[in-house]
DNA sequence: ATGGTAGAAACTCTA
């Protein structure tokens, strides 16, 4: 079973990229973030034609998440139950016995902002909810844009980024808190190339200059991690015309 | 020096 995740930064703009990528890589599940689409605008017909059903939880202009799957996705949840929030950042469903959680963690903007405090509060609420999900669903994957680089090797210039949003100590501690629930960072289950990143700023030719961060992750419960055979970043779509600023990532599970 | 780029939507906010 191949489970993928991609922050597309507007599905309206990136739909051709997504359809091409589905055709090439044939994931069983694709988690999307930053669809930026109200639910009545979601491209269901195009997804069906590509062989995928879609569950989505969106809003106009900002945020928005979706789960595309070849097989039926059941028991959808579309928000953190105990966290009142108008922003559409989480959707979960079960596909072939695997609980798939798609997250778009708040960016945080800057460490002194209200948005940063919201990011940390959101992560606390998400962790508490995931703890209960892990008890209900042994095979669980949490895929998405975490907006956190966990370690120095996940940042092109850790000294420059130290203390900045996406790499500050409280954010990294929150990420470690998710791992402490028993989740594994799938990417680090395997030897990986140095300077492996998933996001490059559109500005300053960051992609060409390899100035990236690894902020998109697929975390796995212990039984899912035990079945994981590979965890991959596909940077090819970042080279395309009008790319998303994020690369798609995926895991291959022997399930 | 606080820039720059992209997207949505509206002439600004978010990332």
Q: Which two tokens stand for residue A15?
A: 């739909």
Whether A104 is a known active-site residue: answer yes
* A198 CB inside 7 Å of strand B: no
Determine contact, residues A66/A39, Cβ cutoff 8 Å.
no
Q: What is the pTM of this model?
A: 0.98
- pLDDT tens digits along A100-141: 999 999 999 999 999 999 999 999 999 999 999 999 999 999
**pLDDT grade, residue A185 (50/70/90)?**
very high
- pLDDT tens digits along A188-210: 999 999 999 999 999 999 999 99
CA distance A111 to A166: 9
Tell the burial category of A103 from Cβ atoms under 10 Å away from its Cβ (0-12, 13-18, 19+): buried
- The spacing between the Cα labelled CA in A61 and the C1' in B7, in angstroms, equals 8
- pLDDT tens digits along A34-52: 999 999 999 999 999 999 9
Q: Which two tokens stand for residue A151?
A: 């370690």
* A62 CB inside 7 Å of strand B: yes
- The spacing between the Cα labelled CA in A155 and the C1' in B1, in angstroms, equals 24
- Nucleotide in closest CA–C1' contact with A11: B7
Spatial neighbors of A119 by CB under 8 A, at least 6 apart, are A105, A106, A107, A108, A147, A171
């Amino acid at each position: 079973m191949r489970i993928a995740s991609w922050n597309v930064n507007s599905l309206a703009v990136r739909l051709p990229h997504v359809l091409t990528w589905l055709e090439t890589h044939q994931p069983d599940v694709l988690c999307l973030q930053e669809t930026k689409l109200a639910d009545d605008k979601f491209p269901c017909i195009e997804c069906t034609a590509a062989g995928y059903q879609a569950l989505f939880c969106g809003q106009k202009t900002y945020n928005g998440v979706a789960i595309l799957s070849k097989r039926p996705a059941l028991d959808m949840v579309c928000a953190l139950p105990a966290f009142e929030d108008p922003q559409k950042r989480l959707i979960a469903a079960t596909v072939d016995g695997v609980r798939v959680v798609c997250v778009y963690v708040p960016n945080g903007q800057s460490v002194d902002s209200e948005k940063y405090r919201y990011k940390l509060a959101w992560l606390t609420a998400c962790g508490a909810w995931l703890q209960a999900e892990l008890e209900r669903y042994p095979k669980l994957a949490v895929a998405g844009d975490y907006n956190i680089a966990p370690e120095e090797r996940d940042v092109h210039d850790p000294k420059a980024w130290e203390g900045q949003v996406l790499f500050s100590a409280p954010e990294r501690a929150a990420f470690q808190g998710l791992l402490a629930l028993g989740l594994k960072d799938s990417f680090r289950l395997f030897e990986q190339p140095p300077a492996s990143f998933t996001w490059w700023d559109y500005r300053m030719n960051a992609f060409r200059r390899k100035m990236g961060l690894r902020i998109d992750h697929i975390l796995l419960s212990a039984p899912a991690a035990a079945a994981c055979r590979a965890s991959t970043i596909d940077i090819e779509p970042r080279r395309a015309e009008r790319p998303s600023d994020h690369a798609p990532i995926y895991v291959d599970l022997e399930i």
